[in-house]
Amino acid sequence: MPAPGAPQADVPAPGEVKQPAADIPAPGEVKPPVADIPAPGEVSKPADIPAPGEVSKPADIPAPGEVAAPAAAAPAPEPEPQGDIAEDPFSGGVSFDPNAGIIDDVGGEIKPKGGVGLPIFAAVIGIVVGMGLGWMAHKANDGGMRFDAAIAKAKTIEEKINEIEKTRALIALKIGDAEEALTAKKGDDAVAALDELEPTFIELGDIFGWQMAAMDPAVVKKIFDLAEANNSMQIDVGILKGWVTQYKDVLTERISGPSSYVVIANPQAGGSVLAEYVAAICEDIPDPRPEDFKPDSLKKCDKEKDDILKAKAYLVRTEIGGETRLVPGGQAFYLTPTGAMYNYAIGQSPNANAKGYFDLRMGKLKGELDAMVKLKDGALEGVANYTKNPNLDGGG
């Protein structure tokens, strides 16, 4: 029995019925479950209970005057492969997504701290790639230009070689014509053939360059030897041409060359002149000379009776086969054809000497022409090999 003053139990008064508890359902009803039990087939949503030591994240409630940011939209599903991409056996069955695997693949929703780092990184990569592509383009362009320059230089050298060969062939033809004309005793035809040859010297200044240093040294030597042989050949052609022009009648045996000589004092020339001795005059020369005076009409000295060293005058020629002229005895001195120096300088057979000198010059020239053919062939072969595979580094 409760103590006096204690609260009384909820006992109904006489004639009343005790009311059931509030959580007891009425007859025919079902008491709702206390826990949040999901419907069949659903999963109960776990409560947002923080881990030990953490604090529960408050709801994202905007401050007064602000509007709550909308929830991030779910990422769009990857597109299904279509067309050729789906059928391409090398595509993997999907189209290429440049953004795939950069952020979303790391799991969860990670928000970058800022949008500046990635563009800067992309810009740096772009600069590096651009510099690399630019360097490769420059090297490719520079290599192409050097290749074109090498081929052009080789072509210039080849043109020089062909120019020398053209000159050599013409000289070989014309000296052959001159030699045949002299054999046929046609001195004028020999001179005409040689007159067609004009000096053609080769300058090599325009072929210098790094391409020459990139060639085989043996080829370069042949090129310069060929040019030197051409220039030497031009000098020898000039000497032969002058000799044939001057002694064409002696070489064709139309006239005989000098067999005796006199030395004529020539104060105007500052010395003396060697001339052909024709005759000594032992008769006094009339002074003044009549208009119809002829030197050949004067009495000539008798070699057996008269001393030609004391002649009154001398008939001489200063040109081979030229006109005679009279020179006073006091200005001319007969050259005695004796002694070692006379034999060395003139000899006993001047006509044979003229022919001998011609043969000497002709033989030397023919030897040069033959040697130039070998030099030309070697030089052209070397240039052709260089053209097929030019050395662009400029080194041997």
Burial call 108-138: b when 16+ CB within 10 Å, e when fewer: eeeeeeeeeeeeeeeeeeeeeeeeeeeeeee
pTM value is 0.48
Distances from the Cα of 272 to the Cα of 269, 310, 330, 333, 341, angstroms: 7, 19, 13, 10, 18
pLDDT interval class at 188 (50, 70, 90): very high
Res 85 pLDDT > 50: no
pLDDT winner (highest mean) among 67-81, 166-180, 309-323, 330-344: 166-180
Res 12 pLDDT > 90: no
377-383 average pLDDT score: 87
- Residue 165: the pLDDT is 92
Sequence letter at residue 394: G
- Residue 139: the pLDDT is 45
Residues with Cβ within 8 Å of 361's Cβ and at least 6 positions away in sequence, in order, are 236, 239, 240, 243
- For 244-284, what is each residue's pLDDT tens digit? 998 898 888 877 777 889 999 887 777 888 999 999 998 88
Distance CA 178, CA 361 (A): 13
pLDDT interval class at 151 (50, 70, 90): confident
Res 183 pLDDT > 70: yes
Q: Look at 98-107, 163-172, 330-339, 372-381 and tell me which has the smallest mean pLDDT.
A: 98-107
Give φ, ψ of 154 to 5 degrees.
-60, -35
- For 19-65, what is each residue's pLDDT tens digit? 555 555 666 665 655 555 566 666 555 555 555 555 555 555 555 55
Residue 306 gets the label, from left (phi > 0), alpha (psi -120 to 50) or beta, of: beta
Closest CA to 285 of 325, 335, 333, 323: 325
Q: Which helix (H) or strand (E) holds 65?
A: none
Closest CA to 320 of 266, 247, 240: 247
Three-class DSSP category at 326: strand
Report the greatest alpha carbon distance in the chain.
214
- For 201-245, what is each residue's pLDDT tens digit? 877 666 665 555 567 788 888 888 898 899 999 999 999 999 999
What sign does the CA torsion over 151, 156, 161, 165 have? Answer: positive
- Residue 377: the pLDDT is 92
Residues with Cβ within 8 Å of 334's Cβ and at least 6 positions away in sequence, in order, are 260, 262, 277, 280, 308, 309, 311, 314
- Residue 167: the pLDDT is 92
Res 108 pLDDT > 80: no
Distance CA 17, CA 11 (A): 9
Res 196 pLDDT > 70: yes
Summary mean pLDDT of the chain: 73
- Residue 28: the pLDDT is 64
- Residue 153: the pLDDT is 73
Q: Look at 74-83, 361-370, 378-387 and tell me which has the smallest mean pLDDT.
A: 74-83
- Residue 293: the pLDDT is 81
pLDDT winner (highest mean) among 128-142, 219-233, 379-393: 219-233
Bond from prior residue into 290 cis (ω within 30 degrees of 0): no
- Residue 135: the pLDDT is 45
More confident residue, 10 or 234: 234
pLDDT interval class at 168 (50, 70, 90): very high
- Residue 395: the pLDDT is 46
* Three-class HEC string of 224-270: HHHHHHHHHHHHHHHHHHHHHHHHHHHHCCCCCCCCCEEEEEEHHHC
